[in-house]
Amino acid sequence: MNIEQQINKIREELRQHNYNYYVLDTPIISDYEFDMKLKELQGLEEKYPEFYDPNSPTLRVGGEVTKNFETVVHDYRMYSLDNSYSKEDLLDWEKRIKKLVDGEVRYTCELKYDGASISLTYQKGVLLKAVTRGDGIQGDNVTTNVKTIKSVPLKLKGDFPYRFDIRGEIVLPYKGFMKMNQERIEAGEEPYANPRNTASGSLKLQDSSETAKRPLDCLLYSIVGEKTGIVTQFENLEKARKWGFKVPEESKMVNSIDEVLEFVEFWDKNRHDLPYETDGVVIKVNDLQQQDELGFTAKAPRWAMAYKFKAEQASTKLNEITYQVGRTGAITPVANLEPVSLAGTTVKRASLHNADQIAKLDIREGDTVFVEKGGEIIPKIVGVDLDKRDQSLNPTIYIDQCPECSTSLVRKEGEAQHYCPNFEGCPPQIVGRIQHYISRKAMDIEGLGGETVALLVKEKLITNYADLYELKKEEVIPLERMAEKSAENLVLGIEKSKMIPFERVLFALGIRYVGETVAKKLAKHYKFIDVIVAATEEELVGVDEIGIKIAQSVVDFFAIEENKNLINRLKSYGVQLEVSAEKLASQTDMLKGQTFVVSGVFEKVSRNELKKMIEDNGGKISSSISSKTSFVVAGANMGPSKLQKANTLNIPIINEEEFLSKIS
């Protein structure tokens, strides 16, 4: 077997394992084995760039950055669906159909997935483009992002047609959604409202490696194209499944509207067991010949109908509105309800989001309210039953003082949330910040948990995270449920945290909006905490991907004298507040102020290595050529449009050798 065959063989194997894992949900090798194979392939691809394949499984991790998504016209229009809400609606629809077509009519029932609709075009079995629905006539080309979704096949199997579009929905399963929100909460950010908006937002991220990190899934439900050789919708689904697409198994072929209703009733009850959100059923005339005869109205196919599930609602009494204070001081109003059963769980609390939400709905303590459960984790209040309102109830006056420390609340221009500004003295903020500091993704302090932190604060042994480093074993032992050994471990765990690298320390400080990724960027760019402390808003905004909101928050944080003191103390204890010497050695300022565009395939180093070298030496990387570009580093197969643009703008084009000599 020659090298090319060997590379292709591993690619094929990886494709099959990807399929087993992401489409069939039944992996047959361990994650470790998969990673090893992937590494092997990466190695070979780097060594033999002449066998580059834009659909290689190694490209699933993303990395390409899109500034503006190109608008493309759909080959076949993406229609909307008519809605129905009752058996009568469906019988009326059937009557209309029977007037227009002859013979028996059968139906395919599918679930209506609630995500972002997508149209994928395949040619010769290879994914050509992925386009959002847009206005149905044209949408945005989001191919680079969609390629990172593991259940989207980049190459098909079996007897697929030469060219076709396949439509489906990009969804974010509940589990992944909750995990993402957990991470956002840890970073002091607002959690995302629901999986659907988060899924569609994910398709429009500029950095595809960010999309790659999101646990998105792609469910397919219809094929369009000429000469596909398929005669029914149900067969459509079965074929697509054979070509390697993820086609949900819940779909069913039925013979009558009564059977459609059975399907609807079944899934209305059981849909909550599915891993992703659904909001109804889509019923399609099964025979494609009949579909053709029925055609389309201006807006939707005549041969399909959506049946919307009723949102699960319950009404109950609102006993009290209480207010929670988060670690960043953000206030969240919470509705405490008379317990009521909703979608299989008992609901006692619901989020009220913020003051505007309460004012908009005019919610008052004592009201009877409607509670709904959507994709959100916490149920929400959607309205007040005004018929049941007791006229003696007082309008809600939003608190203007912190419920925990009585400090006057503030609300920044343009923000929905109120904040308690008592950074130093507000108990839940103090405890929350230290809990964040010790958490797994931050300083990962072994032997110390959230409850112990609360206890240490209560006993006045610590009031901030720097105090941790002065804790003595003897002080800890007398605490509740502490023994000599656990006290020892606690002190040891704190000691060990002095080894944690700077970027994680920066995240641990708990600066609002500075999550893991932002902390990494800042650490890499500034290298020393003192430089970050001194940075102005304008300077911070100049750092790649740091927006004004983050910049302001960083400046605000270090404007607080107490925070500067904490940093100095951490430094004196030996906590890592700069990039380690070892890491620094591989970094220089040689390319400072220069912007590079990297294009094509390289021989000595991989594209990613090349990009890393640019960044490590202080240069910036951009995805498109503009007058701001300093150099284009060109490898083999550089795109012709890039070449032309570089020439027009007089941007110097250098090859790999020339680049490497710049930094050596």
Q: Find the shortest distance in angstroms from Cβ 426 to Zn ion.
A: 3
Quote the tokens at residue 143.
Answer: 């191919």
* Cα(134)–Cα(120) distance, integer angstroms: 14
Q: Find the shortest distance in angstroms from Cβ 225 to ligand AMP.
A: 16
* Beta strand pairing call for 631-634 and 653-654: parallel
Q: Which is nearer to Zn ion, 350 or 402 (CB)?
A: 402
3 state SS of 244: coil
Computed from CA positions of residues 31, 33, 38, 43, in that sequence, does the dihedral angle turn out positive or negative? positive
196 binds ligand AMP (CB under 6 A): no
Q: Which is nearer to Zn ion, 166 or 402 (CB)?
A: 402
Binds ligand AMP (CB under 6 A): choice among 110, 140, 367, 404: 110
Residue 323 interacting partner from Zn ion, ligand AMP, none (CB closer than 5 to 8 Å by kind): none
Phi/psi for 301 (5° steps) reads -70, 145
Size of the site for ligand AMP (CB under 6 A): 11
Known catalytic membership, residue 348: no
Q: Find the shortest distance in angstroms from Cβ 133 to ligand AMP.
A: 6
Residue 656 interacting partner from Zn ion, ligand AMP, none (CB closer than 5 to 8 Å by kind): none
- Residue 640 vs residues 129, 631, 659: alpha-carbon distances, Å: 19, 16, 20
Quote the tokens at residue 280.
Answer: 């109804």
Q: Which is nearer to ligand AMP, 169 or 503 (CB)?
A: 169
Closest CA to 416 of 96, 638, 190, 165: 190
* Cα(431)–Cα(452) distance, integer angstroms: 10
- The footprint of ligand AMP on residues 283-312 (CB under 6 A) is 306
Q: How many CA atoms lie within 13 A of 617 on its CB side?
A: 16
Closest CA to 109 of 304, 308, 282, 248: 282
x-marked contacts with ligand AMP along 42-81 as a string, rule CB under 6 A: --------------------------------------xx
Region of 108-116, 142-150, 556-564, 600-608 interacting with ligand AMP (CB under 6 A): 108-116
Q: Find the shortest distance in angstroms from Cβ 489 to Zn ion.
A: 32
* Cα(419)–Cα(331) distance, integer angstroms: 6
Q: Which is nearer to ligand AMP, 203 or 575 (CB)?
A: 203
Burial class (CB in 10 A: 0-12, 13-18, 19+), 348: middle
* Cα(409)–Cα(430) distance, integer angstroms: 17
Q: Are 577 and 587 in contact (CB under 8 A)?
A: no
172 binds ligand AMP (CB under 6 A): no
Q: Which is nearer to ligand AMP, 224 or 541 (CB)?
A: 224
Region of 106-114, 535-543, 590-598, 643-651 interacting with ligand AMP (CB under 6 A): 106-114
Binds ligand AMP (CB under 6 A): choice among 203, 237, 247, 282: 282
Computed from CA positions of residues 448, 437, 211, 622, in that sequence, does the dihedral angle turn out positive or negative? negative
Please identify which of the residues 39, 98, 112, 388 carries the catalytic annotation. Answer: 112
Closest CA to 80 of 122, 13, 135: 135
Binding site for Zn ion (CB under 5 A): 402, 404-405, 407, 420, 422, 426
112 binds ligand AMP (CB under 6 A): yes
Residue 404 interacting partner from Zn ion, ligand AMP, none (CB closer than 5 to 8 Å by kind): Zn ion
Q: Find the shortest distance in angstroms from Cβ 645 to ligand AMP.
A: 36
Q: Find the shortest distance in angstroms from Cβ 414 to ligand AMP.
A: 31
In the bound complex, which residue of the shown chain has the CB atom lying closest to ligand AMP? 117
152 binds ligand AMP (CB under 6 A): no
Q: Are 371 and 347 in contact (CB under 8 A)?
A: yes
| Partners of 325 in beta bridges | 331
- Length of the chain as a residue count: 664
DSSP H helices, 23-149, are: 31-47, 87-100, 143-146
Q: Are 168 and 118 in contact (CB under 8 A)?
A: yes
Residue 133 interacting partner from Zn ion, ligand AMP, none (CB closer than 5 to 8 Å by kind): ligand AMP
Please give the single-letter amino acid code of residue 276: Y
Q: Find the shortest distance in angstroms from Cβ 328 to Zn ion.
A: 11
Quote the tokens at residue 533.
Answer: 């402390």
Q: Which is nearer to ligand AMP, 186 or 277 (CB)?
A: 277
* Cα(567)–Cα(575) distance, integer angstroms: 9
169 binds ligand AMP (CB under 6 A): yes
Residue 405 interacting partner from Zn ion, ligand AMP, none (CB closer than 5 to 8 Å by kind): Zn ion
- The footprint of ligand AMP on residues 220-239 (CB under 6 A) is 221
Q: Which residue numbers are catalytic?
A: 112
Q: For binding to ligand AMP (CB under 6 A), which residues are involved?
A: 80-81, 110, 112-113, 117, 133, 169, 221, 282, 306
